[in-house]
Amino acid sequence: MITIFAPAGIGEVSAGADLTELILAAVAADDAGPLADGDVVVVTSKIISKAEGRTVRADDRQAAITAESLGTVARRGESRIVHTRGGLTMAAAGVDNSNVDPGTVLLLPVDPDASAARLRADLAGRTGLRLGVIISDTSGRAWRIGQTDLAIGAAGVRVIDSYAGRTDPYGNDLKVSAAAIADELAAAADLAKEKLTGRPVAVVRGLGRHVVEPGPDVPVARDLARPQGEDFFRLGAREATILAVLTAVGQADRYEAVLEHHDPESMIIDVISGAGLTGDQAELVRRILAVHADLGAVVPKLDQLVPTPTP
């Protein structure tokens, strides 16, 4: 039987806090406590970041997002999906300005897998138990409304279970199916933690078969990130078109600057005029970008800048 519980009592976490002690005390005080062999401890990234001193001054949240980003996947106004320095692809680079002092933001842990490894080693060392640790964060999903928690750090947990080479009940050979165990554990744990209860830790019990001994060859949460070369959707449709046009005219380095435009009309004008496009080339790019931006209403204004060729 699988059970999940989120203990109360952890409270506000400050820089330098002993998370191991806080977690052990909270779990021990719960009716389902203390920790047992094979438990997976799922910890919200926010308290990891606070304990590691990742709260920074940032009057401009957008500047903090830029500093934590390696590149923009898609942007609509102030909303950005980016590749983070930690290897994640997520909205706002995980920069959080909720439940922090005004004028500050909370950054994700520098290395969530390393943070998970330290916490797991400490918990296991103090209890003598075989445990797994997952650090979770909330993320949106392509094609789906709403958010769910996923694993951004993991230690002592089988993060993925490949079915390749196995046979289903009908005798079919499985080739590519793989269960993202760490993400499933993170999402399940969030049902117990919820968002507004002040319970940042949950314990998943009954899945000890997915608790493994950490080692250099054992996959971690970072290994769940799809390599860019295998990513069918590395950029948004609009962004991919912009980058292709800029690359074709030798201006790929303008990509991030072009995306800074908050309205699509200015962005399209910048691409066309900055690339020095005229005539049929300008018209083609204008129409392609207008379709991606759903900008039929602004085409006349763009025509004033780059006249549509007459037949």
Question: pLDDT for 184-233, tens place per residue?
Answer: 999 999 999 977 788 999 999 999 999 999 988 899 999 998 887 788 88
Nearest to 239 by CA among 79, 67, 62: 79
Residues 20/23/27/30 CA torsion (nearest 10 deg): 150
pLDDT in tens, 225-283: 888 778 888 888 888 888 988 998 899 999 999 998 878 888 888 988 888 888 888 88
Can you tell me the distance from the alpha carbon of 249 to that of 40, in angstroms, rounded to the nearest whole number?
A: 52
- So what's the pLDDT on residue 292? 67
Average pLDDT, the chain: 88
Measure the CA–CA gap between 84 and 148, rounded to whole angstroms: 19
Helix boundaries (H) for the chain: 19-29, 45-51, 61-67, 112-127, 181-193, 237-248, 255-259, 264-274, 279-293, 299-305
- Beta-carbon count within 10 A of 301 CB: 12
Tell me: domain 3-54+108-230, CATH 3.30.1330.100, correct?
yes
- Identify the H or E element spanning 73: strand 69-76
**Residue pointed to by tokens 């269960």:** 179
For helices 237-248 and 279-293, give the axis angle rounded to 10 degrees.
160
pTM, full prediction: 0.85
Tokens describing residue 110: 């520098």
Domain assignments of the chain as residue spans, ordered by start? 3-54+108-230, 237-305
Q: Is 173 helix (H, G, I), strand (E, B) or coil?
A: strand
